[in-house]
């Protein structure tokens, strides 16, 4: 009469013991040694063809060589990166799904929108920083002043007569421009856009006079003389535009802002596997050919440890919360 319950109980104990063994440090270390045994999916929360996609494919190719398994780019564009980032956060935490995510999606969006279905500090594991992209303040050639000094003289004496475009309400480019306006005491009208293509067209057509955006977009137009570069926001001058000064050089102390893309994995990835992914991401980013190609597109390779990326994310979250409060930027519905 009691044989079946006894067998069931014994089977349950064996299953629990097997699970405990599988989760033991030794088992995880052995798993990391053999990892990966199948292709890795790299989610990119933007359509193919942009700077993020370009960087991702460069890095994926190098990782495929060093890991011995294909690293396949999976473009998941939509909702300004929200769809792809959500897909990453909700993926299985086994190391076979990673993502190259922009800083706004982990340090801004979850804190200025009410409909974000993930918590970047709980649902994502930092793997490594990947690339830095300086922001570039550019103006239509018709705007008076050939440099920042001349521009500021005009802007301060003509309040509300200039407008600037950003990537959207509470985006990184919006907050950076608001920080600049606050420091300089400027009144420049904000025009939010849903994409950089229309923003660039309107800037070239003088519908708006200024933009603060990642350097990759306006770079060819600056080189062609169709737009006027005023300053970059990084601590050092951009290699792609070495004659353009930084905000810090122009007297704005501690004005160091870049848009950056970093690798994250879903929560639950065993630490030895996360460490192995960090190792191979960093190896790819240190390849001379990768560094050269990224630099040619206005990006700088920026490998890091997991702990360094975690600290960067937390620091940016704190920084932007202060700017949101100072600029009185309202939450989006």
Q: Would you say residue 191 has pLDDT above 80?
A: yes
Assign 214 a pLDDT band (cuts: 50, 70, 90): confident
**Between residues 134 and 171, the one the model is more confident about:** 134
pLDDT at 11: 56
Of 228, 232, 93, 105, which Cα lies nearest the Cα of 176?
232
Q: Would you say residue 48 has pLDDT above 60?
A: yes
- The residue-averaged pLDDT of 125-133 equals 96
Question: DSSP strand E in 33-154: where?
Answer: 40-44, 71-75, 97-102, 124-139
pLDDT tens profile 254-300: 898 888 999 999 999 999 999 999 999 999 999 999 999 998 888 89
Contact 96, 38 (CB under 8 A): yes
pLDDT tens profile 89-103: 999 999 999 999 999
Contact 232, 246 (CB under 8 A): yes
pTM: 0.79
């Amino acid at each position: 009469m009691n044989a079946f319950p006894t067998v069931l109980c014994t089977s349950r104990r064996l299953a629990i013991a097997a699970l405990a063994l599988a989760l033991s440090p030794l088992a995880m270390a052995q798993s990391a040694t053999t990892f990966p045994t199948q292709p890795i999916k790299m989610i990119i929360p933007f359509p193919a063809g942009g700077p993020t996609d370009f960087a991702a494919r460069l890095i994926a190719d190098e990782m495929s060589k060093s890991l011995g398994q294909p690293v396949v780019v999976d473009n998941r564009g939509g909702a300004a990166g929200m769809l792809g980032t959500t897909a990453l956060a909700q993926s299985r935490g086994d190391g076979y799904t990673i993502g190259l995510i922009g800083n706004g999606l982990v340090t801004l969006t979850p804190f200025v929108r009410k409909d974000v279905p993930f918590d970047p500090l709980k649902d994502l594991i930092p793997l490594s920083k990947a690339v830095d992209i300086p922001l570039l303040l550019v103006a239509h050639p018709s705007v008076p002043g050939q440099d920042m000094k001349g521009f500021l003289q005009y802007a301060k004496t003509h309040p509300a007569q200039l407008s600037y475009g950003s990537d959207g309400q509470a985006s990184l480019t919006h907050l950076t421009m608001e920080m600049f306006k606050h420091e300089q005491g400027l009144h420049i009208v904000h025009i939010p856009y849903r994409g950089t293509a229309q923003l660039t067209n309107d800037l070239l057509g003088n519908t708006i006079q200024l933009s603060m955006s990642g350097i990759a977009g306006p770079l060819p137009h600056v080189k062609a003389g169709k737009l006027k570069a005023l300053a970059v926001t990084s601590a050092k001058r951009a290699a792609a535009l070495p004659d353009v000064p930084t905000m810090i050089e122009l007297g704005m102390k501690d004005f160091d802002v870049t848009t950056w893309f970093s690798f994250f994995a879903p929560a639950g990835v065993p630490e030895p596997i996360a460490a192995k992914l960090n190792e191979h991401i960093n190896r790819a980013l240190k390849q001379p050919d990768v560094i050269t190609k990224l630099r040619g597109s206005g990006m700088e390779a920026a490998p890091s440890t997991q702990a360094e990326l975690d600290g960067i994310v937390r620091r940016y979250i704190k920084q932007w919360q202060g700017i949101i409060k100072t600029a009185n930027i309202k939450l989006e519905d």
